[in-house]
Amino acid sequence: MELTIEKQQFLRGLARTHGVADRKSSMHILSNVLLSAEGNDTLRLSATDLYLGVTAVVSAKIKEGGTIAVSARTLFDIVKNLPDGEVSWKLSDSHAVELSCGKVRYRIPAMPGEDFPPLPNAGDADLVELDASVLADLIALTQYSMSHDDTRPHLAGTLFECDGKVVRMVTTDGHRLSKAERKVPGKGPKGKMKSFSMLVPHRGISELKRLLEDVKATKGKGDAETTIEIATAGGNAFFQRDDLSLSVKLADEHFPPYEKVIPSKQSRTVIAARGPLVEALRRISLVANDKSGGVQLIIEPGTLRLQSQNPDVGEGSEEVDVDYAGDDLRIGFNARYLLDALGALPYDEIALELSGERDPGVLKPVGNGSEFIGVIMPMRI
């Protein structure tokens, strides 16, 4: 195996893959990145922890093909600190590679590429195409309420589904829930969007977010929207574009029946400017109880008053002008839960829908309510 590659190309491929390599695994091979030199101009880099798999393809000048596995962290750190220019890479024997760039020389231990576990393959599974921006928006609107508790795998992920016309993501940690959806044009087989439903674990969502951030970072001004191909096969989900692919082992669990959690009708609707409400919540949460984080909302016609108190810190209150003409109501919420939901929304005005002091609150963007719904359970204060 022998090749030359520009440092920035090499670094780009390693940046996309090295984070997936499992340095804590008892299987030493999993802490490595697999490098496969193919044809005359393709270097394929792959990493996996047996749950996630990432493959990046970069351009290189291949003198002799082959495969080799090298420590992902070591190789990334070395290439990151090399001077700009062309990097030469040569397999010196079955246990080491020689890397050079300018006056810099390294000899790095390696493992045979044949020892690297094969990554899942989508095979001939039907592919669905979605705009990268749509996927990114759905994650941004729902990731905050996703549980990261691996002891509850039915919650520690995102329900990602499509009914043929609408693509949707739903998350919940048991205290709050968010649902975001977008109407999508038919981009699947025969021009129709294929229906699907999958529960993607939180680590898979985090890696998918990185993939989408990479798409955004490499997109030039005036470039057409990048599409991501999506497929499911063999208990895995696949997200891929021309030079990058991600496989995720899906959770074999049933997501809670989320529609039963979302109130069908609320008796009170408070319209507020998102910015001032966020700032007021941040200020009043400074004196909230450290454990509960509770803030009380006192709602009266035209006014929303936020108040909280902590015997060890003090108390505070602030009024926010709102559009409301209903009956008075006092209700408590965890301030962080409210701030997380409001922080995920890119809209100027929000609607807070309420019924009673023990009923869940519902957050929606004004004028776009069908595309996002955030549900937050109340608390006694």
Residues 278 and 355 in one domain: yes
Amino acid identity, position 331 = I
**Model confidence pLDDT, tens digit, residues 253-269:** 999 999 999 998 899 99
| 53 occurs within a structural domain | yes
Which are the contacts of 38, defined by CB distance < 8 A and separation ≥ 6?
Answer: 44, 62, 65
CATH code, 228: 3.10.150.10
pLDDT value at residue 3: 96
Residue 61 CA to its chain's centroid (Å): 34
Q: Are 219 and 226 in contact (CB under 8 A)?
A: yes
| 122 occurs within a structural domain | no
CA angle, corner 79, sides to 74 and 82, nearest 5?
130
Mean pLDDT of the region 62-76: 95
Residue 157 has pLDDT above 50, yes or no: yes
Residue 281 has pLDDT above 60, yes or no: yes
Residues 243 and 287 in one domain: no
Q: List beta partners, residue 42.
A: 38, 59
pLDDT value at residue 311: 84
Task: Give the integer Cα–Cα distance in Å for 312 and 294.
Answer: 15
pLDDT value at residue 369: 53
| 18 occurs within a structural domain | yes
User: Given pLDDT bands bounded at 50, 70 and 90, which one contains residue 186?
Assistant: low
| 123 occurs within a structural domain | no
Residues 287 and 318 in one domain: yes
Q: Which of 47, 82, 115 is the last residue of a domain?
A: 115
Residues 248 and 132 in one domain: yes
Residues 132 and 108 in one domain: no
Residues 251 and 340 in one domain: no
Tell which residue, 332, 352, 340, has the closest CA to residue 289: 332
**Model confidence pLDDT, tens digit, residues 324-380:** 999 999 999 999 999 999 999 989 999 999 999 999 999 999 976 558 999 999 998
Task: Give the integer Cα–Cα distance in Å for 12 and 214.
Answer: 10
Residue ranges making up the domain that contains 207: 128-258
Q: Can you read off the two tokens belonging to residue 257?
A: 């029946």
Residues 146 and 249 in one domain: yes
DSSP character at residue 20:
G
CB-based burial label for 93 (10 Å; 0-12, 13-18, 19+): exposed
pLDDT value at residue 190: 46
| 381 occurs within a structural domain | no
| 295 occurs within a structural domain | yes
Q: Which of 115, 140, 169 is the last residue of a domain?
A: 115
Residues 158 and 241 in one domain: yes
Q: Dihedral (C-alpha) 135, 137, 140, 143: value to the nearest 10 degrees? A: -40
Beta strands of 102-150 (E only): which ranges? 104-109, 111-112, 128-131
Report the number of distinct structural domains present in the chain.
3
Per DSSP, the three-state class of 116 is coil
Residues 273 and 226 in one domain: no
Residues 275 and 220 in one domain: no
Mean pLDDT of the region 285-303: 90
Task: Give the integer Cα–Cα distance in Å for 325 and 278.
Answer: 22
| Torsion 290-292-295-296 (CA) sign | negative
| 121 occurs within a structural domain | no
Q: Are 318 and 283 in contact (CB under 8 A)?
A: yes
| 120 occurs within a structural domain | no
Tell which residue, 245, 234, 155, has the closest CA to residue 208: 245
Residues 280 and 351 in one domain: yes
In three state form, how does the secondary structure of 174-191 look? Answer: CCEEEEEEEECCCCCHHH
Residues 224 and 279 in one domain: no
The lowest-confidence range among 75-84, 169-178, 216-225 is 216-225
Q: Are 148 and 189 in contact (CB under 8 A)?
A: no
Which are the contacts of 310, defined by CB distance < 8 A and separation ≥ 6?
Answer: 287, 288, 289, 290
Share of the chain above pLDDT 70, in %: 96
**DSSP secondary structure of 319-360:** EEE-B--S--EEEEEEHHHHHHHHHH---SEEEEEE-STTSP
Q: Which of 216, 243, 258 is the last residue of a domain?
A: 258
